[in-house]
């Protein structure tokens, strides 16, 4: 008995040692929450043995077309890119443009040459050092005509950039050069007051030269994706989820409180709102319009109306009859009741559009640009219908022909309701029947580029704080001129605005350009954006630049 007892006790001791040898040390493991809680009542309390990861859960409304900075073209991509990459400069929580990858910079007396010195401690998510050579490579790559970047024009400010991109020059003509691993020298075509801010824009983010050259498909999947920002892409289940996790190689990682962000990819706003209400999300944008109205009425503290510099509008395809006719275009614009749309449908503090450039941008004197331009759109049903019918007759068309005209919009309850409102307003005011078609956001973008639409819903958030970020959209050769607008006079004014060193001259040019485009009306402005979003009370540290989606970089979760 005694021997058997000793043997049994010895075996139990061995088993106990084996078991304890498999248990992680208390407090050392970071564990993401699971759907199924432990039912083992003997387990060590989580507060003693586990540190629950701080994962902020939210939704990204559409599948990204690309998570390559040079190929991205919309907020469905930039919201992820703005957290996984960082440029020479960045926008901080005080909404100031401050050094990012750059530690310091110098500007020549003639404001043409910028010399950036990079930080010592910057690395890619794979451990490689971020160098000035990566920036030179990334910017020249974005300008490469074979890459066909939609945003290549944002690098035209660099001397030789436009010539290379349009096939009139070579890559050697582009005056961006890494003088050594830490020093980048950039020479501009003309003084550009907003160039520093532009280096915080995603098209000018660096890419890892070694990674990109070795794998052309590096940006298509999380397993090969390499970035330099506060987070890194760890999972991308296409059309389903995107997961980013804290990048321990980021120079300011000590200030990053979150362990990561989980994005669902769901285009239905009612579904995502239900998930937010049910506790599945900690943060959500956009919100259903009816929800915004209800939260406002109830003074719900979780609702934040984010300020934004952006314009919601409809493209009119000028290559398709009858939208080639200025009277038809003006007639459609004059019979759209914008005030009713913002008051009764959008309901998020938006402002009925007065032109293409929204409020919030300074002019040459530091005052509100919009005030000096004035209201360039009007609601006048009688005059609008008269112009519309005259234009139709000039094109040999009748009201009945509009039954085959379609408003294209990307899948969203908000876009649907606004399209239905426009459809009804034009039915009542003009007597026309227009059809509606919703498609995925990327499909919409592709069809606009191909000119495969009649009327399409569009929106533009400024890339930086200067009116030219809107005015340049309808330049005849702009990648984003989806209305196919062409005006030599307009193009010349845009050129002056982009190249003149005289602030008075360039702002006068922009004001004249906006007046011209609003007389020709290739697009129908609807409203100036706000960005309502919902944020749980335990989430802190989110900030909202005027030209970006909310920044989660320094957010925290304290339940």
> Dihedrals φ, ψ of 359, to 5°?
-70, 155
Is 60 exceeded by the pLDDT of residue 111?
yes
Per-residue CA distances from 422 to 351, 388, 415, 518 (Å): 17, 15, 11, 19
Is 70 exceeded by the pLDDT of residue 332?
yes
Q: How far is CA 174 from the centre of its chain?
A: 27
**What average pLDDT does this structure show over 287-304?**
96
Is 80 exceeded by the pLDDT of residue 367?
yes
Is 60 exceeded by the pLDDT of residue 351?
yes
Q: How far is CA 444 from the centre of its chain?
A: 16
Contact between 357 and 465 under an 8 Å Cβ cutoff? The reply is no
Question: Alpha-carbon distance 463 to 73, whole Å?
Answer: 11
**Token pair recorded at residue 551:** 């920044």
pLDDT at 52: 87
**What average pLDDT does this structure show over 231-247?**
98
Which residue is listed with tokens 């035209």?
156
Who's near 451: CB < 8 A, 6+ residues apart?
317, 319, 320, 482, 484
Per-residue CA distances from 94 to 224, 540, 544 (Å): 34, 15, 10
Q: 403-447, pLDDT tens digit by residue? A: 999 999 999 999 999 999 999 999 999 999 999 999 999 999 999
Question: Alpha-carbon distance 312 to 329, whole Å?
Answer: 17
What is the distance between the terminal CA atoms of the chain, rounded to a whole angstrom? Answer: 55
Is residue 51 very low, low, confident or very high in pLDDT (cuts 50, 70, 90)?
confident
Per-residue CA distances from 493 to 31, 89, 267, 357, 499 (Å): 57, 29, 39, 15, 10
Contact between 112 and 186 under an 8 Å Cβ cutoff? The reply is no
**What average pLDDT does this structure show over 129-148?**
98
| Segment holding 523, helix H or strand E | strand 523-535
> Exposed, middle or buried by CB within 10 Å (0-12, 13-18, 19+), for 284?
buried
Question: In sequence order, what are the beta bridge partners of 18?
Answer: none
pLDDT at 6: 32
**Token pair recorded at residue 28:** 């050392």
Is residue 40 very low, low, confident or very high in pLDDT (cuts 50, 70, 90)?
very low
**What average pLDDT does this structure show over 306-319?**
97
pLDDT at 108: 97
pLDDT at 23: 29
Of 230, 145, 252, 137, the C-alpha closest to 184 is 137
Contact between 244 and 231 under an 8 Å Cβ cutoff? The reply is yes
Is 60 exceeded by the pLDDT of residue 18?
no
Q: Tell me if the bond preceding 223 is cis, omega within 30° of 0.
A: no
Per-residue CA distances from 391 to 89, 112, 214, 326 (Å): 49, 48, 56, 7
Of 75, 159, 62, 67, the C-alpha closest to 113 is 159
Per-residue CA distances from 128 to 43, 101, 175, 440, 453 (Å): 41, 14, 25, 37, 45
Is 90 exceeded by the pLDDT of residue 15?
no
Is 70 exceeded by the pLDDT of residue 320?
yes
Q: 146-165, pLDDT tens digit by residue? A: 999 999 999 999 999 999 99
* Sign (positive or negative) of CA dihedral 44, 50, 54, 59: negative
The whole-chain average pLDDT of the chain stands at 91
| Segment holding 530, helix H or strand E | strand 523-535
Contact between 313 and 357 under an 8 Å Cβ cutoff? The reply is no
Long-range pairs, 494-502, Cβ under 8 A, ≥24: 494/468, 497/468, 497/471, 497/472, 498/156, 498/157, 498/190, 498/192, 498/468, 498/472, 499/189, 499/190, 500/190, 501/111, 501/190, 501/191
Contact between 247 and 125 under an 8 Å Cβ cutoff? The reply is yes
Is residue 50 very low, low, confident or very high in pLDDT (cuts 50, 70, 90)?
low
Contact between 356 and 525 under an 8 Å Cβ cutoff? The reply is yes
**What angle do helix axes 488-499 and 503-520 make, rounded to 10 degrees?**
150
**What average pLDDT does this structure show over 319-334?**
98
Q: Concatenate the DSSP letters of all residues of 86-128 into one string.
A: --SEEE-TTS-EEESSEEEEEE-TTS-EEEEEE-SS-B-TTSP
Q: 509-558, pLDDT tens digit by residue? A: 999 999 999 999 999 999 999 999 999 999 999 999 999 999 999 999 99
Question: Alpha-carbon distance 86 to 205, whole Å?
Answer: 6
Is 50 exceeded by the pLDDT of residue 22?
no
pLDDT at 11: 33
**What average pLDDT does this structure show over 394-400?**
96
Who's near 203: CB < 8 A, 6+ residues apart?
69, 70, 72, 142, 149, 151, 152, 154, 155
């Amino acid at each position: 008995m005694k021997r058997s007892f000793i043997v049994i006790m010895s075996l139990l001791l061995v088993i106990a040692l084996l078991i304890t040898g498999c248990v992680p040390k208390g407090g050392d493991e970071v564990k993401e929450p699971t759907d199924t809680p432990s039912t083992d009542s003997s387990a060590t309390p989580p507060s003693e043995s586990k540190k629950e990861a701080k994962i902020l859960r939210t939704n990204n409304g559409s599948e990204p077309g690309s998570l390559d900075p040079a190929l991205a073209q919309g907020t469905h991509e930039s919201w992820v890119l703005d957290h996984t990459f960082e440029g020479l400069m960045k926008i901080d929580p005080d909404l100031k443009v401050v050094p990012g990858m750059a530690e310091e910079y110098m500007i020549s007396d003639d404001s043409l040459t910028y010399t950036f010195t990079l930080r010592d401690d910057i690395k890619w998510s794979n451990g490689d050092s971020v160098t000035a050579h990566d920036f030179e490579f990334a910017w020249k790559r974005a300008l490469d005509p074979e890459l066909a970047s939609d945003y290549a024009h944002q690098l035209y400010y660099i001397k030789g950039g436009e010539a290379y991109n349009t096939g009139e020059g070579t890559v050697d003509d582009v005056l961006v050069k890494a003088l050594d691993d830490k020093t980048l020298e950039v020479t501009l075509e003309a003084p550009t007051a907003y160039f520093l801010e532009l280096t915080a824009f995603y098209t000018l983010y660096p890419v890892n030269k070694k990674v990109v050259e070795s794998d052309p498909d590096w940006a298509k999947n999380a397993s090969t994706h390499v970035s330099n920002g506060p987070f890194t892409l760890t999972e991308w289940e296409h059309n389903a989820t995107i997961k980013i996790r804290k990048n321990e190689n980021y120079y300011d990682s000590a200030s990053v409180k979150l362990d990561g962000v989980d994005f669902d990819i769901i285009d239905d706003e009612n579904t995502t709102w239900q998930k937010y209400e049910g506790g599945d999300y900690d943060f959500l944008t956009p919100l259903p319009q009816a929800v915004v109205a209800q939260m406002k009425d109830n003074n719900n503290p979780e609702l934040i109306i984010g300020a934004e510099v952006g314009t919601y509008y409809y493209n009119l395809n000028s290559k398709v009859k009858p939208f080639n006719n200025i009277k038809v275009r003006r007639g459609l614009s004059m019979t759209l009741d914008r005030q009713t749309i913002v008051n009764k449908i959008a309901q998020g503090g938006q402002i009925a559009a007065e032109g293409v450039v929204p409020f919030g941008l300074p002019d040459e004197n530091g005052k509100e640009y919009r005030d000096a331009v004035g209201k360039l759109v009007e609601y006048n049903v009688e005059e609008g219908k008269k112009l519309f019918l005259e234009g139709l007759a000039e094109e040999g068309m009748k009201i009945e022909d509009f039954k085959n005209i379609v408003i294209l919009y990307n899948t969203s309850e908000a876009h649907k309701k606004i399209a239905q409102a426009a459809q009804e307003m034009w039915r009542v005011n003009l007597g026309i029947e227009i059809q509606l078609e919703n498609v995925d956001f990327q499909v919409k973008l592709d069809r606009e580029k191909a000119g495969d639409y009649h009327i399409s819903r569009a929106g533009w958030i400024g890339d930086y704080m200067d009116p030219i970020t809107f005015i340049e959209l309808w330049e005849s050769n702009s990648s984003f001129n989806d209305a196919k607008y062409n005006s030599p006079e307009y193009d010349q004014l845009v050129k002056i605005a982009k190249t003149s060193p005289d602030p008075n001259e360039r702002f006068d040019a922009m004001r004249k350009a906006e007046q011209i485009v609003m007389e020709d009306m290739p697009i129908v402005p609807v409203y100036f954006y706000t960005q309502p979003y919902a944020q749980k009370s335990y989430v802190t540290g989110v900030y909202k630049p005027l030209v970006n989606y909310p920044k989660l970089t320094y957010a925290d979760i304290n339940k």
